[in-house]
């Protein structure tokens, strides 16, 4: 740890704060400690220091505490609110998924009135909606972000004519396995057909031998299980086919139009240097 700290200080520019040097070199937990100390020792720029503290904590894996400091940084200095909220959304996306990140951006959108930041905010919201396969809302957000071409592509991509689950269940009800084949899973369909047919044959031959107990057990615990399982799988495979198609299309659109946001770019602009990748909770032990 001492060697890494010395290397970090040696690599820093003259006059650069120790905490900034630690953060530049990826020692996020150690940087957070220094920023926390600076809040008490050098209180002349508490908003910027708290912003760096929140970023350091978030990157080191202490997400909840980092989110709180980012929130306070935006409250103390309204000019930091946009950058702090966008960074909060980035951390929430990594830790909790798109839903909470979307709520963070929706709250921010209530207070952003400049056209350029608001356009970028709507584009970020559109990307989050695409992540959750909400194509209609994503298209609406893209229109608000002045991306009509992307909005048209999203609407077109959202109209997927996938395999019909009702048809798949009906097919597997008539001939087990055929619904799974229809849903695009021929191997699973053939296995379902073989298992259902084999258990039906076993129950039939047990009944012909007057072994009604075995016939009832095979019919109840094997045949019905395979039969109902084939019907259930047929519907599930149809939904999976549709979701996979939608996810592929949403990824293609996001890549084509560059919709994925750089969550930390505004914060990096304020602090004056690029942030390192997230190092996790164990960064303090480096």
Is there a single domain that holds both residue 219 and residue 265? no
Asked if residue 1 belongs to a domain, the reply is no
pLDDT score recorded for residue 279: 54
Query: For 276, which DSSP code?
Result: P
Tokens linked to 58: 């978030």
- Measure the CA–CA gap between 8 and 212, rounded to whole angstroms: 79
Q: Check whether residue 264 and residue 132 sit in a common domain.
A: yes
What token pair was written down for 105?
Answer: 């951006």
Q: Residue 67 corresponds to which tokens in the numbers above?
A: 């989110």
Same domain? 33 vs 156: yes
Distances (CA, A) of 244 to 164, 238, 250: 15, 10, 10
Say if 277 falls within a structural domain: yes
**pLDDT tens-place string over residues 74-87:** 888 888 999 999 99
Q: Do 177 and 228 reside in the same domain of the chain?
A: yes
**What is the total residue count of the chain?**
286
- 85 to 22, 73, 104, 119, 240: CA distances (angstroms): 23, 10, 7, 15, 34
Question: Packing angle between helix 115-131 and helix 224-257, nearest 10 degrees?
Answer: 160
Residue 137 near residue 200 (C-beta atoms within 8 A): no
CATH code of residue 133: 1.25.40
Asked whether the predicted pLDDT for residue 8 surpasses 50, the reply is no
Residues 42, 177 within the same domain = no
DSSP annotation string for 99-118? HHHHHHHHHHHTT--SHHHH
- 5 in any annotated domain: no
Angle at 48 between CA 45 and CA 54, to 5 degrees: 130
**What is the number of other CB atoms lying within 10 angstroms of the CB of residue 89?**
28
- Write the DSSP symbol of residue 220: I
Residue 188 is assigned to a structural domain of this protein: yes
**How much is the average pLDDT of 242-249?**
87
209 and 74 within one domain: no
Please tell me whether residues 74 and 190 are part of one structural domain. Answer: no
pLDDT of residue 2: 45
Distance between CA atoms of residues 118 and 149, nearest Å: 18
6 domain-assigned: no
Please state, as a whole number, how many other Cβ atoms lie within 10 Å of the Cβ of residue 167: 15
Q: Whole-prediction pTM value?
A: 0.74
Does 140 map to a domain? yes
Based on the fold, state whether residues 140 and 101 are members of the same structural domain. Answer: yes
Q: Which of 98, 105, 94, 100 is nearest to 278 (CA)?
A: 94
CA 149 to chain centre: 25
Q: pLDDT tens digits, residue range 81-124? A: 999 999 999 999 999 999 999 999 999 888 887 888 889 899 99
Per the prediction, the chain carries an average pLDDT of 85
Contact 30, 281 (CB under 8 A): no
Residues 151 and 175 in one domain: no
Spell out the residues 6+ positions from residue 68 whose beta carbon is closer than 8 angstroms to its own.
54
How far apart are the C-alpha atoms of 271 and 200, rounded to whole Å? 70
Residue 3 domain flag: no
Shared domain for 185 and 153, answered yes or no, is no
Angle at 271 between CA 267 and CA 275, to 5 degrees: 65
Domain count, the chain: 2
- The predicted pLDDT at position 59 comes to 94
Q: Is residue 2 part of a domain?
A: no
Domain that holds residue 203: 165-257
Q: Same domain for 56 and 184? A: no
Tens-place pLDDT, residues 35-76:
888 887 765 557 788 999 999 999 999 999 999 999 999 888
Q: Domain check: are 65 and 182 in the same one?
A: no
CA–CA dist 18, 31 (Å, integer) = 8
pLDDT digits (tens, 9 = 90+) for 126-170: 999 999 989 999 999 999 988 899 999 999 888 767 788 889 889
Strand residue runs (E) in the chain? none
């Amino acid at each position: 740890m001492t060697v890494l700290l010395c290397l970090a200080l040696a690599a820093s520019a003259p006059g650069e704060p120790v905490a900034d040097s630690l953060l530049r070199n990826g020692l996020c937990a150690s940087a957070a400690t220094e920023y926390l100390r600076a809040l008490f020792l050098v209180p002349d720029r508490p908003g910027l220091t708290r912003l760096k503290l929140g970023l350091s904590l978030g990157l080191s894996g202490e997400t909840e505490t980092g989110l709180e400091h980012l929130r306070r940084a935006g409250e103390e200095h309204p000019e930091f609110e946009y950058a702090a909220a966008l960074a909060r959304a980035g951390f929430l996306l990594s830790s909790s998924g798109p839903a909470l990140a979307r709520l963070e951006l929706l709250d921010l959108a209530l207070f952003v009135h400049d056209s350029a930041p608001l356009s970028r905010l709507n584009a970020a919201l559109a990307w989050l909606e695409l992540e959750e396969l909400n194509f209609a809302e994503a298209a609406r957000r893209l229109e608000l972000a002045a991306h009509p071409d992307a909005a048209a592509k999203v609407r077109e991509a959202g109209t997927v004519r996938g395999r019909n689950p009702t048809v798949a269940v009906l097919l597997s009800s008539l001939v087990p396995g055929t619904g799974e084949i229809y849903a695009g899973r021929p191997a699973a369909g053939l296995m379902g057909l073989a298992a259902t047919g084999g258990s039906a044959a076993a129950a039939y031959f047990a009944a012909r031998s007057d072994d009604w107990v075995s016939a009832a057990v095979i019919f109840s615990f094997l045949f019905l299980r395979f039969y109902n399982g084939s019907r259930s799988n047929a519907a599930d495979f149809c939904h999976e086919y549709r979701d996979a198609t939608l996810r592929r299309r949403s990824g293609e659109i996001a890549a084509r139009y560059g919709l994925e946001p750089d969550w930390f770019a505004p914060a990096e602009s304020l602090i004056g240097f690029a942030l390192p990748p997230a190092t996790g909770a164990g960064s303090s032990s480096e």
